[in-house]
Amino acid sequence: MTRIALITGGASGLGRATALAYAGAGLSVVVADIDGARAAAVAAELQGKGHRGLALDVTDEAQVASVFALVEREVGPIAVLAHFAGISGYTPDGLNPKIADESVANWERTMDVNLKGTFLCVREMLRVRRARPVPHGRIITTSSMVAQSGGINGGAAYAASKGAVLSFTKMAAREAAPLGVTVNSISPGAIDTPMLRSVMPPERDASYIQSIPMGRIGLPQDIAAAALFLASEDASFITGSCTDVNGGMRMQ
Ligand SMILES: NC(=O)c1ccc[n+]([C@@H]2O[C@H](COP(=O)([O-])OP(=O)(O)OC[C@H]3O[C@@H](n4cnc5c(N)ncnc54)[C@H](O)[C@@H]3O)[C@@H](O)[C@H]2O)c1
């Protein structure tokens, strides 16, 4: 039976690359993003048939419930939730605020998208899988290298939100295990996506890669490859883990 994957933040960057990888591996992909038009465009470029693109704001509890219900009803049971939706926490004027200058509004917006969005989507996945179990259920959350290193490109709200994603992922892994669902996090380093480029111009690459043992900025496909493995049936004994994909920039 074709496995169904729901990819949040799938209209861009890491989510889009993962959608391409999953479709290439024969999964049926639902691309969900706050930008529904771009989600539909990504779904249209995927290999194979039956892919869908949907609008979803992951901070909206009712929308999360209705999108999961729609997918379960019209596409089928979701085997893989790959949750990439996230924001950088930079202010709309492109600034990375220091804690002393951070606003409550920007702090809350960052926590809302990165942490509450993760909670709402994982909660909904656990609810639907509890109601209708599937074999080889998988949840993949997205943290960040800065969660454990302290921010370089990320500010405190972003780092704190991504640190909380790691803790939440471990709790979710314990609770999902009886359902046969694994829950793992990917922790990207600097990966060349629109988000990275919104905070780091290419002119900084040469100095930045001095601190990356593999000597390059990551590509979205580097993350998609990890997400593909974690989604696979072969990854059935890996849960509660964090996969660092950062070219060796931070080793624990
Ligand atoms: N690119 C990197 O270097 C890097 C490093 C560490 C972590 N990450 C994390 O990886 C994930 C993907 O980042 P990316 O680099 O692909 O960024 P991106 O900006 O290219 O893609 C993020 C996607 O999330 C969507 N999105 C934003 N808010 C949303 C919401 N409320 N509901 C639904 N969708 C929403 C955006 O529309 C966009 O399509 C993020 O969680 C990010 O924090 C990225």
4-241 classified as CATH 3.90.45.10: no
Reported as a single tens digit per residue, the pLDDT across 14-34 is 999 999 999 999 999 999 999
Reported as a single tens digit per residue, the pLDDT across 22-68 is 999 999 999 999 999 999 999 999 999 999 999 999 999 999 999 99
Query: Is 90 known to be catalytic?
Result: no
Task: Indicate the pLDDT class of residue 154, thresholds 50, 70 and 90.
Answer: low
Active-site position among 22, 90, 158, 208:
158
pTM recorded for the entire structure: 0.98
| CA 160 remoteness from chain centre | 16
Alpha carbons 81 and 6: distance in angstroms, whole number: 5
Following CA atoms 185, 189, 192, 196 in sequence, which dihedral angle do they give, to the nearest 10 degrees? 90
Pocket of ligand 1 from Cβ distances under 6 Å: 8-9, 11-15, 33-35, 56-59, 84-87, 113, 117, 142, 144, 188, 190-191, 193-196
| Region 228-248 average pLDDT | 98
Q: Residue 199 above 70 pLDDT?
A: yes
Reported as a single tens digit per residue, the pLDDT across 113-150 is 999 999 999 999 999 999 999 999 999 999 999 999 98
Domain limits of the chain? 4-241
Cα(15) to centroid(ligand 1), Å: 7
CA neighbor of 82 nearest in space, from 37, 155, 163, 27: 27
> What rounded mean pLDDT belongs to the chain?
96
Index of the ligand 1 atom closest to the CA of residue 39 = 39
